[in-house]
Structure 1
Amino acid sequence: MTPLLERALAHLAPDLPLLTEIGEMFTAAGHEIALVGGPVRDAFLGRTSPDIDLTTSASPDQTEALLKKWGGPTWDMGRAFGTIGTRRGATVVEITTYRADAYEPGSRKPVVAFGDSLDEDLVRRDFAVNAMALRLPSLEFVDPYDGLDDLAGRRLRTPSAPEISFSDDPLRMMRAARFAAQLGFHVEPSAEAAMTDMADRISIVSAERVRDELVKLLLAPNPREGLALLVDTGLADHILPELPALRLEVDEHHRHKDVYEHSLTVLEQAIALEGPRSVAGLGPVDPVQGPDLVLRLAALLHDIGKPATRRFEPGGGVSFHHHEMVGAKMTRHRLRALRFDKDTVKQVSRLVELHLRFHGYGGGEWTDSAVRRYVTDAGPLLSRLHLLTRSDTTTRNRRKAERLSRTYDDLEARIVKLQDAEELAAVRPELDGNQIAQTLGIEPGPVLGRAYKHLLGVRLDQGPIGEDAARAELLRWWADQPESAEA
């Protein structure tokens, strides 16, 4: 046994009793079974995989019958793809019949064909580093496509010709970008060339599968590498076209930043701010625990409205007026197309819409009213908005960067002070809906909603004024409304 294999088995030691038990059960029944894919790769890398993936010569029905005798709970949501799942304690095990996935031309769903041997199963896997296996219970290492060499070289290479592999499952092209982001691997040149030539084939994959890969990429330690690969190969043109569109041509006078590079830098800076954080004069503040998908999506997409709003001004300037509003609308459209859930769509688009709000703060002369509105408009997204706004400073001018940082420190300090004094997180008008209706003698409806909104504006502008003053202001407002004459 080689030292490398010894170290990998030592990393798998906590799971070896369970793996041995399953291996003996399947071999006693006349079937082959092997640990395969990510868990084997990660064992050699010294990483822990969340799940255990096994492949077997047994059919799904045979696998299910064995697992039921074994006593573990089973589920078969992946039966159509040959997969039966089980759990022992906190460990999730998925067992898949030897197989080969392929797409019919124009189809969004892979066609599953079950195979007859471990080698046949391995050659159909996405990359050689994921085509290594450990036969069970013998722990024989199987590496027919030199995945271990690729692992040492941090290289992504397909076991079969990349054109065949990517044609069988086009989502593998996105997995290449994800592994670049997760593991820091580089894609072998022939595989990258095939990704470029076949980028349009990603369009046959369902939006849900594309979304899931994109999420894994964005939550990786270094998403920039994966995103750059998607853009450079043309895959992003089909799944996230707003990103390559940020590569605005650079004019000879360099009158504006490279928006694409700026956006990737903002993403990196936002990631660096995740977790525990302190502010000058405040000490520790509420953190955004990472990896945070909403923050990372907002950082990546915050400027996607710029291409549509770019204008060249007299005198050589460039403007992007209202790009935050346009960008918020584009963000909603793209995330919905990728089948993100409603809450994620709402939160990310709201952050994009708000990301420029701080720049109206100037040198720190915001009124308390403006600070209240900033907090109220951000709502539960305030901590993320703090990080997004800070990350959006990519100037090379050190003095300017330090000035902006100090100004935002001051804003955060003012927010904390007002929150302590006025409970801004739960700011409400000083009269509730029932009190408003009773004061004006009206029923619930649109007029009541307008009255509530007016008193909320008063609360934000003036701070706490007491119920009596709020009631007097409500009556003053009501006297100017056409409905009051009809009452």
Structure 2
Amino acid sequence: MESTAGSAHGTSSCRTAVKTPATLPQLTQQHLPDILYRIGDLADKLNTECYLVGGYIRDILMKRSSQDIDIMVIGDPVAFARNVEKELNGRNFVIFERFRTARLEVTDQHDGPILLEIVGARKESYNPDSRKPITEIGTLEDDLSRRDFTINALALSLNAGTRNRIVDLFSGLDDLRAGKLATPLEPEKTFSDDPLRMMRAARFASQLGFRIDPKTHGAMRAMHERITIVSKERVSHEFLKIMASPKPSIGLAILFETGLLKEILPELTAMAGIEQVDGLGHKDTLLHTFQVVDKLSEKSDKLWLRIAALLHDIAKPVTKRFHKSSGWTFHGHEVVGTKLAGRIFRHMRWPLDRLAFVKKMVRLHHRPIPLSGSEITDSAVRRLMFEAGEDLDDLMMLCRADVTSKNPRKVRQIMNNFNRVEAKIAEVAEKDLLAKWRPPINGREIMEELGLTEGRTVGIIKKKMESAIIEGSVAYDREAALNYVRQLWKEMLDERTPS
């Protein structure tokens, strides 16, 4: 990535090391599944040019595992795929007529089941307001030139006479050695045709640790608004891949610097920058958030925990206040943040069954900090355990990642406090069996015991019962909890009875 000069969010200086070997291996038969050579032999029998294309070649050269195997033929891909199905015992055959593509599964004697996509060489054209291509039969050069980046515009011949020869028309091998992302054609043309490729640039940079060459990066800045013609589902798919990468901040910073992030998630870009009043400024919340996401990603590959880290301070811009006596405050940003998280989930078309977890992490991410005072009470720890439930370990991991101070002494003190909190959690859990993470009776059992129907009264009784257990006035025991709700219900009825 080429960072803009002086950008607080630029990560080009700290990007992960390029993992491409200094000398790319010479591909031989040992690098590829045997079934691909059998397909090459079949292509010779049918007098058809046949190539392995795209990311699979890139990943083999980088010594990375890959599942996507694309085969391109000069000719009719569907007819060729039918022959592969017949001769090599293929199954699950699917045709995509519009794109002249067939998909099927074959079995390799060493690698097991392999999913193949067989395409015909094609050229594409686009309407300005759509990323859906108009396809025509094309040449090998047409097909490689329509690819997103030069490192993906490689073809490897499977025919016997030229077997294992790499066709590299756009210096993709040089870019692979250099760890550089560049487009085969002018980047404005490549991104105008399919704006999602700008997201893919950020994603590949984040996944591979590659930099984006200046010309390509400049085109992304100039064309970022064009991402709005792409469906939310496709944008979200690429965004989540960035979040799942080894160091998400690389891709996130590219999105921010190019303006793409403003189009995708304006709530995030609102976090950028430092506002000064009376000489007092708050830290750059976006930079802090990127650091938190990276720190968490070093410890966990849980995607939705990483999303929680991304959104944990999302409401700071709207809750920010300056007071002459106390400086900057962000009161209530945890609660407001849960509401913004819901809005972002719906906007990004993220699965709503993950929203409750993310909301919980956002709402509770400051809760363990006050517990680390001089005395940690059992009741405070119980309340945290009840509210976090089975996600307590994830919450503590997020809280540790949230410590981004540049003061080593302060960091050590906070981490020691977290250690004390975790030790107290273990002590309380062992003492009163709260490791089950749930109250001894639930709302349904309260209704059955008291003969009530679902409603506000049951919720009040359940809440009071939980609080009594947390405070230690009622034992963590089923019978003790039932006795408490019976007595509470009797008192509530007595209060309603006129004297």
Q: TM-score, with normalisation over the residues of structure 2?
A: 0.86
Aligned to 1:216: 241
Equivalent residues in 2 for 1:102-113, closer than 5 Å: 102-107=125-130, 110-113=132-135
Deviation at 1:405, TM superposition (A): 0.7
Deviates more, 1:458-467 or 1:216-225: 458-467
1:155 to 180, 191, 196: 180
Aligned to 1:165: 190
Deviation at 1:330, TM superposition (A): 1.3
Deviation at 1:268, TM superposition (A): 1.4
Aligned to 2:102: 84
CA distance in 1, matches of 2:483, 2:492: 15
Contact 2:22/2:177 (8 A) holds in 1: no
CA distance in 2, matches of 1:16, 1:304: 47
Equivalent residues in 2 for 1:121-270, closer than 5 Å: 121-137=143-159, 138-251=163-276, 253-270=279-296
CA distance in 2, matches of 1:182, 1:127: 14
Amino acid at match of 1:47: R
1:404 aligns with 2:422: no
Deviation at 1:334, TM superposition (A): 1.3
CA distance in 1, matches of 2:240, 2:445: 46
Aligned to 1:345: 355
| 3-state secondary structure, aligned to 1:300 | helix
Contact 2:345/2:352 (8 A) holds in 1: no
| 3-state secondary structure, aligned to 1:414 | helix
The number of equivalent residue pairs is 467
Cα deviations by residue, 1:360-402 (Å, 9 ceiling, x for unpaired):
2141533222212212211232221111000101112222211
Aligned to 2:72: 55
Aligned to 1:452: 462
CA distance in 1, matches of 2:433, 2:338: 28
Contact 1:478/1:484 (8 A) holds in 2: no
Aligned to 1:376: 386
Equivalent residues in 2 for 1:8-19, closer than 5 Å: 8-10=26-28, 13-19=30-36
Amino acid at match of 1:73: R
| 3-state secondary structure, aligned to 1:126 | coil
- Residues 24 and 164 (structure 1 numbering): CA distance in 2 closer, same or farther, change over 3 Å? same
Contact 2:122/2:136 (8 A) holds in 1: yes
Amino acid at match of 2:421: L
| 3-state secondary structure, aligned to 2:51 | strand
| 3-state secondary structure, aligned to 1:257 | coil
Contact 2:309/2:398 (8 A) holds in 1: yes
Flag structure 2 segments of 5+ consecutive residues without an equivalent: 1-20
Deviates more, 1:25-34 or 1:402-411: 25-34
CA distance in 2, matches of 1:130, 1:376: 50
CA distance in 2, matches of 1:46, 1:364: 52
Deviation at 1:435, TM superposition (A): 5.7
Amino acid at match of 1:266: V
Deviation at 1:246, TM superposition (A): 1.1
Aligned to 1:286: none
Aligned to 1:278: none
CA distance in 2, matches of 1:440, 1:363: 41
Amino acid at match of 2:114: T
Contact 1:5/1:44 (8 A) holds in 2: no
CA distance in 2, matches of 1:229, 1:24: 44
1:97 aligns with 2:135: no
Deviation at 1:464, TM superposition (A): 2.2
Deviation at 1:483, TM superposition (A): 8.9
Contact 2:104/2:115 (8 A) holds in 1: yes
Deviation at 1:345, TM superposition (A): 2.5
- Residues 461 and 161 (structure 1 numbering): CA distance in 2 closer, same or farther, change over 3 Å? same
Aligned to 1:271: 297
- Residues 163 and 415 (structure 1 numbering): CA distance in 2 closer, same or farther, change over 3 Å? same
CA distance in 2, matches of 1:468, 1:96: 67
Cα deviations by residue, 1:110-160 (Å, 9 ceiling, x for unpaired):
124033211110000001111111011322210011111111221111111
Deviation at 1:449, TM superposition (A): 3.9
- Residues 422 and 465 (structure 1 numbering): CA distance in 2 closer, same or farther, change over 3 Å? closer
Deviation at 1:96, TM superposition (A): 2.2
| 3-state secondary structure, aligned to 2:115 | strand
Contact 2:246/2:298 (8 A) holds in 1: no
| 3-state secondary structure, aligned to 2:119 | strand
1:72 to 85, 90, 108: 90
Contact 1:126/1:172 (8 A) holds in 2: yes
Amino acid at match of 2:295: Q
1:38 aligns with 2:46: no
Amino acid at match of 1:474: V
| 3-state secondary structure, aligned to 1:7 | coil
| 3-state secondary structure, aligned to 1:9 | coil
Deviation at 1:315, TM superposition (A): 3.3
Aligned to 1:119: 141
1:474 to 478, 485, 491: 485
Deviates more, 1:375-384 or 1:233-242: 375-384
Amino acid at match of 1:121: D
Aligned to 2:7: none
CA distance in 2, matches of 1:343, 1:417: 32
Contact 1:429/1:456 (8 A) holds in 2: yes
CA distance in 1, matches of 2:479, 2:144: 76
1:318 to 316, 324, 328: 328
Amino acid at match of 2:39: I
CA distance in 2, matches of 1:101, 1:482: 75
CA distance in 1, matches of 2:82, 2:63: 34
CA distance in 2, matches of 1:80, 1:186: 34
Deviates more, 1:450-459 or 1:323-332: 450-459
Contact 1:100/1:113 (8 A) holds in 2: yes
RMSD after superposition = 2.6
| 3-state secondary structure, aligned to 1:91 | strand
CA distance in 1, matches of 2:431, 2:46: 71
Aligned to 1:386: 396
Aligned to 2:41: 24
- Residues 331 and 102 (structure 1 numbering): CA distance in 2 closer, same or farther, change over 3 Å? farther
Contact 1:55/1:97 (8 A) holds in 2: yes
CA distance in 1, matches of 2:367, 2:487: 31
Deviates more, 1:137-146 or 1:417-426: 417-426
Contact 1:74/1:84 (8 A) holds in 2: no
Contact 1:364/1:410 (8 A) holds in 2: no
